[in-house]
Amino acid sequence: MNNQEPKERLLELLQLENDEGTIIDASTTWEAFKIFGREYINKSNVALLFQVGVYDFTGKPLFYFDPACQFEIVDENGEYDHFEQLHCELTCDPTDELERINTNLWSFDFKSANDFFTAVEQLSEFKIINKLKNCNISVYHEDV
């Protein structure tokens, strides 16, 4: 798999979903990720992940809203080699309300992408997160 192709597609969708030309709000980011997820979920060895919480990865605690797409990479014999993830990560300074949020859901726990997206959107935490504005965004691909 060319790992640039999914990243370019996600960036394209983020730009299409964002009316103002900057990618800083959780609602439009989530809508773009849903479109992307529906396109990729039916491909072999792909799962979607919704993960949120406050973490100190950089020396400063930040709130992370990080929907990701995980790809299982296989070798020339079709055997498992490793996983790669494409992240669509929003970060912002934590508030008291955001400090209490820490959860994750995997799509393989649901029958379909739509069931996964519905479950995420029904989380009380998601209703808080979906209002986030003025976030920093980072779209990146990594081996895990």
Dist. CA 70–CA 87, nearest whole Å:
9
Percent of the chain residues past pLDDT 70, beyond the cut: 92
Confidence at 45, pLDDT banded by 50, 70, 90:
confident
Token pair belonging to 78: 């079709």
Question: Does the pLDDT value for residue 44 go beyond 70?
Answer: yes
If you average pLDDT over every residue of the chain, what do you get? 88
pLDDT, residue 71, reads: 92
Q: Which of 7-21, 51-65, 124-138 has the highest mean pLDDT?
A: 51-65
Instruction: Please tell me the chain's helix, strand, coil percentages from 3-state DSSP, rounded to the nearest 5.
Output: 35, 30, 30
Is the pLDDT reported for residue 133 higher than 70? yes
What share of the chain in percent tops pLDDT 90? 57
